[in-house]
C-alpha cells in the first residue's frame, strides 16, 4: 500500500464514516427503540432528551463525509449519488422526518399528535440504519458500471442477499448501540428496560455480524499489498468485540459495553474500507475495472489544499463536540419532566 494524498483522503473519509456511524448509530438505536422501551409518554420524552442536545451535531459527520468525497474524489461522488439515487433519497427523507419530529413532538400535549411524531422518529431512524448497511455492502461488493463510469443497474440490483444482510447487520448493531447508550444516559425504568433489550440483542448482532464479515471475506478480491489481510484481522477483532459486549452486558458493565459496541462499529467499518482499498466503486461489469482512488480523484493541488484545511479544522471540530458531550453528560430521568408527585 503506497501512502500518498489519495490514500490519505481515502482513509480520512473512512474516519469520517466511522465517526458518523459511531455517533449517529446510537441516535438511530434510541429512535428505533422508542415504542419498545418507552411504555408511556414520559418514558419516550426521557429517551428523546438523551439524544436531544447532540443528534444534530452527530449528523455533521455525514455532511462532512459527503463533502470530502465530493472534493477529493468527484468521480466517486458522481457515480455513487447517481447510481444510488433512490436509496440515498429515502435516507434523506427519513433524516428530515426525524429532525422535524424531534422539533415538533413537544409542541402539543395531544397524545395523537405525539404518537404521529413518535412514528416519524422510528421511521426516520430505522430506514437509514438499514439502508446505510445496504449501500456500503454494495459498494464493497461492486455494482454494474460501464466504461463511462455510469451505474447501469437498478434498485433491485442493490437489493441482493449480501447487501440485505449488511443492512440487517447495521440495523441491529445500531439498535444495540442505542440500547447500551440508554443504559448510560437514562434513569430507571428506561435504563433497566434498555439493559434487558441490549442483553437480548447481543447474540443476534454477533451472529449476523459474523455471517456478514465471513461472506465479505469469501467474496473479497485477492490481497493487494496486504490490505485484505488487515481487513481480515479487523473482522476477527470485530467478532471478538461483539462477544465481549455480550459478556459485559451480563456483568452490568454499562460503560464498557458502550465502548464495546462502539469498537464493533469502528472495526467493521474500517474492515470494509480495507476490503475496498484501493477501489472506491468496483465494477461487476466484465472488462470494466470501475473507480479507484486515482482515476476518481481530484487534482493533486486540490488534495494538498484540503489536507491543510483538514489538519487545522478537524481537531477543532472534535474538541468542540467532545466538550458538548461533557456538558450534557448527566442522566435524563423521569423526575426532570414529571409534574410533582407523578413519576
Instruction: Give, in order, the Cα–Cα distances in Å from 59 to each of 19, 21, 51, 65, 95.
Output: 10, 10, 12, 10, 9
pLDDT tens, 17-48? 999 999 999 999 999 999 999 989 999 999 99
Three-state secondary structure call for residue 290: strand
Reference 11, options 224, 293, 258, 260; nearest CA is 293
pLDDT of residue 69: 94
Asked whether residue 340 carries a pLDDT value surpassing 70, the answer given is no
Confidence at residue 130, expressed as pLDDT on a 0 to 100 scale = 97
Does 343 reside within a domain?
Answer: no
User: What is the model's pTM?
Assistant: 0.93
Residues 183-222 have pLDDT tens digits of: 999 999 999 999 999 999 989 999 999 999 999 988 875 5
- By the 8 A CB rule, do 167 and 209 touch? no
Q: How many structural domains comprise the chain?
A: 1
Query: Residues 77, 291: contact at Cβ < 8 Å?
Result: no
pLDDT of residue 298: 92
The boundaries of the domain holding residue 248 are 5-336
171 assigned to some structural domain = yes
pLDDT tens column, 87-133:
999 999 999 999 999 999 988 889 899 999 999 999 999 999 999 99
Task: Kindly tell me if the per-residue pLDDT of 167 is higher than 70.
Answer: yes
CB atoms within 10 A of CB 135: 21
| Confidence grade of residue 63 (pLDDT, cut at 50, 70, 90) | very high
> Are 76 and 85 a contacting pair, CB within 8 Å?
no
Please, what is the average pLDDT of the chain? 90
The pLDDT of 156-170, averaged and rounded, is 94
Mean pLDDT over 261-290 rounds to 91
Tens of pLDDT, residue by residue over 120-133, are 999 999 999 999 99
Closest CA to 138 of 207, 230, 216, 206: 216
> 29 lies in a domain?
yes
Q: Is residue 32 part of a domain?
A: yes
Q: Is residue 218 part of a domain?
A: yes
Residue 297: per-residue pLDDT: 92
DSSP letter assigned to residue 285 = S
What is the DSSP-derived secondary structure letter of residue 224? S
Set of cell numbers at residue 284: 461487476
- Domain assignment of residue 14, yes or no: yes
Asked if the model's pLDDT at residue 327 lies above 70, the reply is yes
The confidence score (pLDDT) of residue 116 equals 93
Amino acid at each position: 500500500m503506497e501512502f500518498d494524498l489519495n490514500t490519505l483522503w481515502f482513509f480520512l473519509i473512512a474516519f469520517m464514516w466511522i465517526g458518523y456511524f459511531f455517533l449517529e448509530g446510537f441516535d438511530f438505536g434510541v429512535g428505533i427503540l422508542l415504542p419498545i422501551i418507552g411504555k408511556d409518554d414520559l418514558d419516550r420524552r426521557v429517551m428523546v432528551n438523551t439524544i436531544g442536545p447532540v443528534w444534530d451535531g452527530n449528523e455533521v459527520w455525514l455532511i462532512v463525509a459527503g463533502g470530502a468525497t465530493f472534493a477529493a474524489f468527484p468521480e466517486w461522488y458522481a457515480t455513487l449519488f447517481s447510481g444510488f439515487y433512490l436509496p440515498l433519497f429515502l435516507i434523506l427523507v427519513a433524516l428530515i422526518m426525524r429532525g422535524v419530529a424531534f422539533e415538533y413532538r413537544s409542541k402539543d400535549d395531544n397524545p395523537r399528535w405525539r404518537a404521529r411524531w413518535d412514528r416519524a422518529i422510528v421511521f426516520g431512524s430505522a430506514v437509514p440504519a438499514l439502508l446505510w448497511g445496504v449501500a456500503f455492502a454494495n459498494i464493497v461488493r461492486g455494482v454494474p458500471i460501464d466504461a463511462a463510469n455510469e451505474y447501469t443497474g437498478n434498485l433491485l440490483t442493490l437489493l441482493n442477499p449480501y447487501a440485505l444482510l449488511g443492512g440487517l447487520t447495521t440495523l441491529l448493531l445500531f439498535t444495540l448501540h442505542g440500547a447500551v447508550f440508554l443504559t448510560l444516559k437514562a434513569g430507571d425504568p428506561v435504563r433497566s428496560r434498555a439493559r434487558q433489550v441490549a442483553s437480548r440483542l447481543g447474540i443476534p448482532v454477533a451472529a449476523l455480524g459474523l455471517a456478514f464479515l465471513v461472506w465479505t471475506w469469501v467474496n473479497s478480491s485477492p490481497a493487494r499489498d496486504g490490505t485484505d489481510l488487515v481487513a481480515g484481522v479487523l473482522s476477527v477483532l470485530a467478532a471478538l468485540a461483539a462477544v465481549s459486549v455480550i459478556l459485559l452486558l451480563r456483568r452490568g458493565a454499562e460503560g464498557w459495553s458502550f465502548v464495546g459496541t462502539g469498537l464493533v462499529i469502528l472495526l467493521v467499518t474500517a474492515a470494509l474500507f480495507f476490503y475496498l482499498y484501493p477501489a472506491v466503486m468496483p465494477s461487476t461489469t466484465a472488462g470494466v475495472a470501475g473507480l479507484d482512488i486515482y482515476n476518481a480523484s481530484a487534482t493533486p493541488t486540490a488534495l494538498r489544499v484540503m489536507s491543510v484545511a483538514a489538519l487545522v479544522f478537524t481537531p477543532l471540530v472534535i474538541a468542540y463536540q467532545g466538550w458538548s458531550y461533557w456538558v450534557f453528560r448527566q442522566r435524563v430521568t423521569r423526575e426532570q419532566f414529571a409534574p410533582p408527585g407523578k413519576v
